[in-house]
Chain A
């Protein structure tokens, strides 16, 4: 089977494979959502067609855009701190790639299965703040500086509700491990009814909404796009960037959107797994509850039930569907709402989201003990 095949490769071979797959997992969804949503869905939303010339229905527009960016001159402003200026997009991108390594796409299809996976994800997502601050400061532009400072203040403020929203899930799943969270949702039951499993969106809907709002803010998408507010700060910290380095910021922004959508679908929508009633209906998909997990080389640290290896193929597709559904919301909101003011955003985070998420945690804890 797949897992046993994978186990026959040497460590360096699997490492290179994983590295390649990391690029696939970051770039393909980023390109796909940019075309589907940023180019097409938004165009339809705004009663226009969007790109139509490059390829069928403009599907190769992104290739043309990337080609255009790659050709452009790499301008560094004369008063900029050149090294920091050049390094900043890479720092942002590193955060994106560090995020993707904890996302499970199947029982074995995971880059690194940490016991504290979600904890790591929330920690490394803040690295992008450093890159944005670097970009804002090193550009030697006042608009960039304002944008960078706004970004820093905003990302720090919204880190907290995001972490607190996840705590509710962690309490319910009883583990920080991403695979464990998926398994808890698949094998779980709601008041003894287990046909749907227990996707945490059903019981943690408050946490889900807070998580989505925090993601929107973390990604600096409208209505929380003060860092790049184009009508005020031109494009904020990205103002002075051009060519390939702008492309890196662009990839960082949209790839991170997808990866947060992946994280949200793992945390709240059941991850790569499908509801048990589908598993029971399709022969060979049902989880086997015996020692076979060890024989197949399953890497789930807390595995009680072992999933069919076919999930390594089905899982990425399921994840892609869930990711697309969630990023749809991100872009829908982005192109509908006006933006908050900086102080309104801060008070919204500290006075609304954080208290609600704290209450959510308390209620979750109490109910967890009661039931």
Chain B
């Protein structure tokens, strides 16, 4: 397929509460024209490609207690047994036991585990992609502490190479690899947006400085749907007097290569950021309000690169918390009650759980925690690429109702988070349910409440 054909088959939707691909009239959920044997062999080869002692331990350890179901928003919201997290891996468990485990010989010889088929994998596509946000809540309940989300990630490697990625997710991932952004935020578009925003909001937005201490990245959702986040970022960094820049050769932090399971695309996308940060000599790379971008670069970036990164990687919430606490960012008190939605990949799985709370307290707001919060927070239902998949909408909306209730129960005036993908999932849920709560960005709240005359402060960063 030519690029034009791909664009025609996978057109973007940039006007709805949720940005992504338009709802397809005809779905193309199978890519390439491999035969069944080749497809299954490819799926399994790539599933086990990064298989080590950790994944094998998890594959061997399930005791079939079924408790993981009770932690999963898709099971709890629907009551359908097929959404049990460990069941989502069944064909891969079957293949592991038959082909790779310590007793594979017996399983094969006596045909105790059947050969996984392409039909099975096609059936499981819905479970591996549409109904798993890789939020990792099931890891928290599993009595064996099996990290099912990481296994789903490996299963997606197999599915992606075998050409079994859902239509929308393949479409945005391919565009991301080809154009540098899943939502059409090409380098040209990004630079034009920055110029326009700089004029419109009378704020300096440095792009492509040759040298800078800090390189800042954005999510395509922010660039296209919430461009005020770019302004907020600039306002905060300028307020601090920081030496920073955006780079048109490395600005897009989302990694749909990772979400779709395409390891090569994941690497390509991460290397753009890494190489850009090295090129401008950055000591710090700030990741935007995006959940999976944190997992992709903070925790997997160096491993994709093959050695430690020569700069630090921090989420914007960590950066805000640190500089609010040390006084380099000064704010006016925001006397409101506020509840915080933890983005799974930053909080539960990323470890940056305290930072946003420190920032909220530094803002002077009263934090009202949800009943299940921090590491046990309920996912919004849109992570892991799920929000892009139209086919998943019915179960996603059901899962979102858990989140709505959590928010309602707090009675807080302001709802905030630090992930633009969660934010657009909330926007979409808000529109669907005609809900009166709007998700806000913690970064924008900080930027909107900066204290005046920063240049007079002795603590400003030179």
Asked if chains A and B come from one complex, the reply is no
